[in-house]
Amino acid sequence: SAAQSAKVATNFVPTKEDYQKVYNRIAEVIDDADDYDNGSFGPVVVRLAWHASGTYDKATGTGGSNYATMRFQPESLHGANAGLHVAREVLEKIKQEFSWISYGDLWTLAGVAAVQEMAGPKVPWRPGRIDGFESHVPPDGRLPDASQGAPHIRDIFYRMGFDDQEIVALCGAHALGRCHTDRSGYDGPWTFSPTTFTNDFYKLLFDEKWVWKKWNGPKQLEDKKTKSLMMLPTDYVLTQDKSFKKYAKAYADDVDLFFKDFSAAYSKLLELGVPTQQFVASEAWIMQTVDEQNS
Ligand code: HIF
């Protein structure tokens, strides 16, 4: 709008309230999904925020959420990012309304809003990411391959600077959403409530009997009882690897512990690759849910 362009022209410095307005628009837009999956863009937005951040390489300081490089080829075409154009397009509407926000801040704030609005924990977040260029695109192959085992998971997440406990805490986000055959080749949701953030991912891992699905697609597991849920090989590994299993069991038994640890790990994920001095605040903010603002 003219008012917003004028703000940019006069060096508009957004406050926490301005970011809260963006958050509130995100909450509206992810819910406006009548004809899409389970009626929510929340899960695919959580995946966008993660894939935008999970390219980080601690050793070289490259990748991560700072430059929002998934806007560019070839990163937008990397196999792991198949389907994420849906999330980028949904959020583009908001970028048009709030032109002052960087794409990296918009995508990560959207991840936070999606988690919180789907009844998940508060995730501390702060702005400061800047838009980069094609030259910042990280190489392909930095995101995890779902057909692999524990050594691969560790390679990928240790490279970002996470430990076993943080890896397992993050993995609970697969309570949300589903796999699409035309994106990853895998098929189906992990839980019965894919638009509500719960610790059901861990509970189901331990409570159900998981068997290899007989089909033409990639190797995945299905629950023996209903055959309507799925686990990726990388998900199932959390019950097989001794160190991973310890944490997965703890999160199955204690939803509060899971929420607390997920919040910390996801917040850390979303800040990967952003130089500390770029952040506008020394401590991350807690954005309010729509419900909290209305009560
Ligand atoms: Fe996912 N993930 N993820 N993931 N992911 C998929 C979908 C989602 C991995 C593979 C896949 C995380 C870790 C890993 C979400 C969030 C997170 C799909 C299906 C695959 C194959 C894509 C499709 O077909 O649409 C692997 C191998 C991971 C490392 C173990 C994170 C922890 C769980 C970091 C994370 O936050 C979400 C949400 C989805 C659902 C997207 C949707 O469109 O519904």
3-state secondary structure of 62: strand
| Same-domain check for residues 81 and 208 | no
Residue pLDDT, tens place only, 269-288? 999 999 999 999 999 999 99
Beta-carbon-side half-sphere exposure of residue 226 (alpha carbons within 13 Å): 11
Structural domain of 211: 150-258
Give 133's contacts (C-beta < 8 A, 6+ positions apart): 67, 72
pLDDT tens digits, 64-111: 999 999 999 999 999 999 999 999 999 999 999 999 999 999 999 999
The mean per-residue pLDDT over the stretch 286-295 comes to: 96
Under 8 Å between Cβ of 123 and 116: yes
Residue 242 lies in a domain: yes
Tell me whether residue 295 is in a domain: no
Residue 269 is assigned to a structural domain of this protein: yes
Q: How many domains does the chain have?
A: 2
Judgement on whether residues 249 and 269 belong to the same structural domain of the protein: no
Same domain flag for 158 and 105: no
Distance 17 CA to ligand 1 centre (A): 31
Residues 9 and 128 in one domain: yes
Q: Is residue 234 one of the residues assigned to a domain?
A: yes
Q: Choose which residue among 40, 47, 86 to substitute to test ligand 1 binding: the one with the highest number of ligand atoms within 8 A of its C-beta.
A: 47
Residue 58 banded pLDDT, cuts 50, 70, 90: very high
Sorting pLDDT into bands at 50, 70 and 90, what band is 9? low
Nearest residue (by CA) to ligand 1, atom 16, is: 47
Residues with CB under 6 A from ligand 1: 43-44, 46-47, 50, 83, 144, 146, 153, 170-171, 173-174, 176-180, 183-184, 186, 232, 234
Q: State whether 129 and 7 are in the same domain.
A: yes
CA distance 145 to 82: 13
**196 and 77 both lie in a single domain:** no
Q: Is 58 among the domain residues?
A: yes
Domain of 235, CATH number, reads 1.10.420.10
Mean pLDDT to the nearest integer, 33-40: 96
ipTM: 0.99
- Ligand 1 atom 6 nearest Cα: 179
In a domain, 193, yes or no: yes
Statement to judge: residues 102 and 178 lie in one domain: no
Whether pLDDT at 140 is above 90: yes
Are residues 278 and 225 located together in one domain of the fold? no
CA of 173 to the centre of ligand 1 (A): 8
Catalytic residue positions?
Answer: 51, 190
Percent of the chain whose pLDDT exceeds 70: 97
Residue 7 — pLDDT band, cuts 50, 70, 90? Answer: low
Same domain, yes or no: 22 and 162 = no
For the segment 45-55, what is each residue's pLDDT rounded down to a tens digit? Answer: 999 999 999 99
Q: What is the mean pLDDT of residues 155-173?
A: 98
Q: Do 169 and 285 belong together in one domain?
A: no
Q: Ligand 1 pocket test: which of 174, 258, 272 has the largest number of ligand atoms within 8 Å of its C-beta? A: 174
Per-residue model confidence (pLDDT) at position 156? 98
Q: Is the pLDDT reported for residue 2 higher than 80?
A: no
Q: Which residue bears the tokens 């154009």?
A: 85
Task: Say whether pLDDT at 268 is over 90.
Answer: yes
Are 8 and 88 found together in one domain?
yes
Residue 284 sits in a domain whose CATH number is: 1.10.520.10
In a domain, 205, yes or no: yes
189 and 89 inside one domain: no
Alpha-carbon distance 272 to 56, whole Å? Answer: 6
pLDDT beyond 90 at 295? no
Span 217-225, mean pLDDT?
Answer: 98
pLDDT at 63: 98
